[in-house]
Amino acid sequence: MGAFLAEALDAKGHQVAVIERSQELCERLAASTSAVIIHGDGCDLRYQEEADVGNSDVFAAASGDDDDNLVACQLAKTYFQVPRTVARVNNPKNERIFNKLGVDAISSTTIIAQLIEERTTLGDIITLHTLKKGKLAVVELDLPEDRCRSCEIPLRDLGLPQGCVLVSIIRGEDVIIPQGSAVLQPGDTVIAVTEPEKEAELKNILTG
Class of 2-108 in CATH:
alpha beta
* Mean model confidence pLDDT for the chain: 89
Q: What is the pLDDT of residue 52?
A: 96
pLDDT tens by residue, 27-84 = 999 999 999 999 999 999 999 999 999 999 999 999 999 999 999 999 999 999 999 9
Q: What is the pLDDT of residue 111?
A: 75
CATH architecture of 117-207: 2-Layer Sandwich (3.30)
pLDDT tens by residue, 172-183 = 889 999 998 999
Using pLDDT thresholds of 50, 70 and 90, give the confidence band for residue 122: very low
Domain spans, the chain: 2-108, 117-207
Cα angle: 65, vertex 128, 12; to 5 degrees:
65
